[in-house]
Amino acid sequence: MSSTTRSVPAQDSRSTSRSALYSSLIGVAALGVLLQAVWAGLFIREGQDNDSTFVEVHARGAEITLALAAIATVVALLRLRARRDLVVGSVVFTVLLVLESFLGGLIGDHSALQVVHFPLALALMGLAVWLPLRARRRPDPR
């Protein structure tokens, strides 16, 4: 019985490692978005005082998630230029995280901004799921 092994061209192995770095970064950023929802749920209670500990955890989590998304965007721009879907998706993800963080910082003084903050968080959750799944796809051979 003989088995054949197919060698992977150097180009494929390089793009795989580039994609693995991106996938890791965007995956951890996606986990950050999920944790943001958990932490927000711990301090948002109608009619109760906000627990400042989880407000602080939520704020620091936002900063870390934004940093990870920005790094993933830079990796996509520098190493995955051929994957326009990932480049555009990462830029949109990072820009929306900046907007979400800005709005989140204003909510303490302007609670009416929750009307925008919460739906934007759901849109970010969708992107946080889509980007890692999309990164796993093989690029089009065009």
Residue 92 lies in a domain: yes
User: Which two tokens mark 84?
Assistant: 């326009």
Q: Write down the pLDDT at residue 14.
A: 53
Residue 142 lies in a domain: no
Domain extent for 114:
16-136
Number of domains in the chain: 1
Residue 86 lies in a domain: yes
Q: φ, ψ for residue 59 (rounded to 5)?
A: -65, -45
Residue 8 lies in a domain: no
Residue 7 lies in a domain: no
Residues 54/42, Cβ–Cβ less than 8 Å: yes
Residues 86/134, Cβ–Cβ less than 8 Å: yes
Residues 28/131, Cβ–Cβ less than 8 Å: no
Q: Write down the pLDDT at residue 46.
A: 54
Residue 71 lies in a domain: yes
Full pLDDT tens readout for the chain, 142 residues: 555 555 445 455 555 566 889 999 999 999 999 999 998 888 776 545 556 788 889 999 999 999 999 999 999 999 999 999 999 999 999 999 999 999 999 988 898 998 999 999 999 999 999 999 998 887 666 5
Give residues with Cβ within 8 angstroms of 36, minimum separation 6: 58, 61, 62, 65, 121
Residue 9 lies in a domain: no
Residue 141 lies in a domain: no
